[in-house]
Amino acid sequence: MAAKRDLVSMLDVRDDLVGLLELAGKIKNRTKAGEPYEPLRGKSLAMIFEKASTRTRVSFEVGMTQLGGHALFLSPNDTQVGRGETIADTARVLSRYVDGIMYRAFRRESVRELASNATVPVINGLDDKEHPCQIISDLFTIQERKRSLLGLKLAYIGDGNNVCNSLLLGTAIVGMHMTAACPAGHEPDAELLAEARHIAKANGARLDIERDPMVAAKKADFLYTDVWVSMGQEKEREEREQAFKAYQINAKLLKAAKEDALVMHCLPAHRGLEITDYVMDGPQSIVFDQAENRLHAQKAILARLLAGV
């Protein structure tokens, strides 16, 4: 019996990322052609949400259904974790019932603990360090547009958060260049950045951290942003909005990138803050293609981890 595979970090798919992107494309083509594809018939996925979600919940639930399986939504109020049961015990119990667990958590340590105690695959639906499902979907979206990822440049503008951390790892793995423009004190995780740079060097890619968004955007094929205030940071709203006010993707910043540059946002967007309506609704925005591709990329992840496709 093959050892179970988890997706806690982008590093967990380092050797299989290209294959996952190809599988996402095949699954999307079958879906669009109306061809049934049900490798997860009879299988169930438990989805534990400590943080609210639109795209993660709907895409995983619909994805499991389209693959022939079943998804169960569990909020902290629906499980004994909220009443003091350990994560380890929850992992052991759920492993007796379901074929996989998706966990959207506040802390990386919680996802690691769940994964180390579960006997079924665990998928990280987001934690404070990374958002791997989002970035697999993003790279799939970029590949659809450009075919080859090698040598492309992505400029990330804003908070060096979980999305930024996973983007650094993901771009490094596929040989893309990336520059992250972040205000002082809001840089990406130092440990994950060092790991990403190590991988990038081996793949002929460059990863840079900048202060000036205009410098970061220069010659970029893609501009990418995320919210300035994530869930759990509401008390810092005023301070963060002040720190990030020069880090907006707007018409001026778009002009600094390549003429055919495309704009990405993992959503939800706070329009008028990190991105303007003009850019988000403009012809260079692929934000909603990105959102759709969460479904197709996650179906690839589910098929790979739960059925070994």
Catalytic residue among 226, 240, 290, 298: 226
Q: Establish whether 240 is a catalytic residue.
A: no
Q: Establish whether 226 is a catalytic residue.
A: yes
Q: Establish whether 134 is a catalytic residue.
A: yes
Catalytic residue among 112, 131, 177, 240: 131
Q: Which residue has the tokens 């967990």?
A: 12
Catalytic residue among 133, 164, 182, 266: 266
Catalytic residue among 134, 248, 290, 298: 134
Q: Establish whether 233 is a catalytic residue.
A: no
Residue 132 identity: P
Catalytic residue among 6, 55, 104, 159: 104
Catalytic residue among 112, 177, 240, 294: 294
Q: Establish whether 186 is a catalytic residue.
A: no
Q: Which residues are part of the catalytic machinery?
A: 104, 131, 134, 226, 266, 294
